[in-house]
Structure 1
Amino acid sequence: MNCLTAFDEMYYCFSLGGQFLNVYRYGGWRDCSEKSADWRFCMRTKAMGPIKRKAMIMARNKEKAARFKQGPNSEDIWELRKEPLKNPFSGSLGDLEKDSLA
């Protein structure tokens, strides 16, 4: 965990450019509390010993991964393909549209 990287990510999130990009892409302001919490966590772990620091970072990464899996993701939209496509790059784009409608 690099505190300088965490600070840069937090700073960009709060910056005008970062917020404008989020408004353009998603239509609303971005919540930067997670980036701010990451930076504060990094600064707090700097004062600890290497073993305790490593254990805390691993626990935090596991917690963040679990939260990420609970939210919406691409698996909510896309279906798992049971068998691979046969010759996916042969034919024209019109043929692919016909196959997908059938």
Structure 2
Amino acid sequence: MSKLDFETAVRQEEEHLRRLYPTADDIPGCISLFDTYLSCNVIRNQIKSIYRYGQRPVCGPKMEDFKFCLSLKSLHPEERRDAWIARRAEWWARRRLAKSSEDIWDIREVPLQNFPKPISDDHVDAGPIE
């Protein structure tokens, strides 16, 4: 069972998203989000979702992302970036804390010591494993 709480997950996701999208120009624009919504409704994606999951894809959240983007148009670019990152961080945190096949994994806070083991000259001189 994960010891992760929602606030910690949101903070971790915000840190990750701030590195992933360092400037306001890096976040997706409203047109891009609308294109994502439209592509969700394309027949090919509908059929693929029915085949894979037995149901049509859920496109509503993609439309909500587009509408959220439109609501940010009057903000300064950095404020828009912060609002977008906060929203996405909460979405990812909810997704991480929900039941999934990845329940057994937690984000490692501290890297493993001495991993991977450095290759020594003995390993190089030994040649290929037979």
TM norm structure 1: 0.65
Moved segments of 4+, more than 3 Å:
none
Q: Quick one: structure 1 residues 20 and 73, their matched pair in 2 at CA, closer, same or farther if it must change by over 3 Å?
A: same
Name the CA distance, whole Å, in 2 between partners of 1:74 and 1:68: 11
Secondary structure at the counterpart of residue 75 of structure 1: coil
Give structure 1 stretches of 5+ with no counterpart.
79-89, 91-102
Aligned partners of 2:30 and 2:58: how far apart in 1? 20
Indicate the residue corresponding to 2:65 in structure 1: 38
Picking from 59, 68, 78, the partner of 1:51 is 78
Aligned counterparts of 1:17 and 1:77: Cα–Cα separation in 2: 33
For residue 28 of structure 1, what is the aligned residue in structure 2?
55
SS of equivalent to 2:38: helix
How far apart in 2 are the matches of 1:77 and 1:53?
34
Q: Of residues 61, 74, 78 in structure 1, which corresponds to 2:88?
A: 61
CA distance in 2, matches of 1:77, 1:12: 32
1:5-39 deviation per Cα after TM superposition (whole angstroms, max 9, x unaligned): 21111001122222111001111111111111111
Highest RCO, 1 vs 2 (Cα 8 Å, sep ≥ 6): 2
1:2-13 to 2 correspondences below 5 Å = 2-13=29-40
- Counting aligned pairs with the same residue, the percent is 34
Question: C-alpha separation between the residues in 2 aligned to 1:4 and 1:71?
Answer: 30
Distance 1:14 1:60 in 2: 23
Counting matched residue pairs gives 80
2-structure distance, mates of 1:39, 1:63: 17
